[in-house]
Amino acid sequence: MPDREHVTGDSASPAAAKAGAPTEVAPDRRPLRSRRSQVVQRLAHRLASAGVRANAISASSMLAAAVAAAAMVATRFATGSEDSTWADRALWLAAAAGIQVRLLANLLDGLVAVEGHQRTPTGELWNEVPDRVSDTLILVAAGAACTVDVAAGVALGTVAALVAMFVSYVRAVGKSLTGTSDYSGPMAKPQRMAALTVAAVATAVIPQSLETQLAIGQPWLARPIIALALLVITLGGAWTGVRRLRRLARSLTSSSSRPPSQP
């Protein structure tokens, strides 16, 4: 999720400095190709022009995550009849849509902050807290929906959420020590949500008979594709956290071994 603060100072472009215009330094942001999309840029411009606050967009990401989580939990009660089967499919599609709306909000808040010059003392809090809340809501709800025993599913989702927090914590610590964020994967936030979105859509469209076969004789698995996605997110997240720690350790070691600069 992009940082929202813009900075003025000597590091700006020479052309702007000569013109005497206010200048901005690009914030430390996750490298996403979608950020360069003309559609996204126009939408961010319109939101900023309309006076929409970046922090309000961040808050809306939690609302979208809550909708996705509620849809997944509701699938536990949409079973049995033909009508309930269609309701189940609609709920999984709604969950996938909610996850993507959450990501869109995460993308837009930083762009709107830059576009609208919205620098606030609490920007870093709005940068981080909604993401942690959203990840937890979505991952725990996915766990609750994927097993017959809800307690076991919640435990599975909670482990995935804790791993996601660990990955983000390592990034935040790295930024505090080095001034830059390590957004490397293989299971950063975009990959976590992509895996769960694909799993939700797959669960919505495949026949229930095939889903039963995918459970490979494990009666406790109600939604094997979702369970597999959570497993991939957990293992991939653990590897991502360790990988970021190693990269951070190398960076700190390299910095400490450099000779002091001469005045």
Q: What's the pLDDT score for residue 257?
A: 72
CA-CA distance, 198 to 194, in Å (whole number)?
6
Q: What's the pLDDT score for residue 135?
A: 97
Residue recorded with tokens 């991952």: 139
Q: How many CA atoms lie within 13 A of 152 on its CB side?
A: 10
CA-CA distance, 203 to 229, in Å (whole number)?
11
Q: In a 10 Å sphere around its CB, with 0-12 CB exposed, 13-18 middle and 19+ buried, how is residue 167 labelled?
A: buried
pLDDT in tens, the chain (263 residues): 444 443 333 333 333 333 443 334 345 677 777 777 889 899 999 999 999 999 999 999 999 999 999 999 999 988 665 656 899 999 999 999 999 999 999 999 988 988 878 878 887 888 899 999 999 999 999 999 999 999 999 999 999 999 999 999 999 999 999 999 999 999 999 999 999 999 999 999 998 778 877 877 788 889 999 999 999 999 999 999 999 999 999 999 998 776 666 55
pTM: 0.85
Q: Is the peptide bond before 186 cis (omega within 30 degrees of 0)?
A: yes
Which helix (H) or strand (E) segment holds residue 45: the answer is helix 38-49
The three-class DSSP label of residue 7 is strand
Domains of the chain: 33-251 (1.20.120.1760)
Q: Which candidate, 111, 160, 54, 114, places its Cα nearest to that of 168?
A: 160
251 φ, ψ to 5°? Answer: -65, -45
Q: Which amino acid is at 253?
A: T
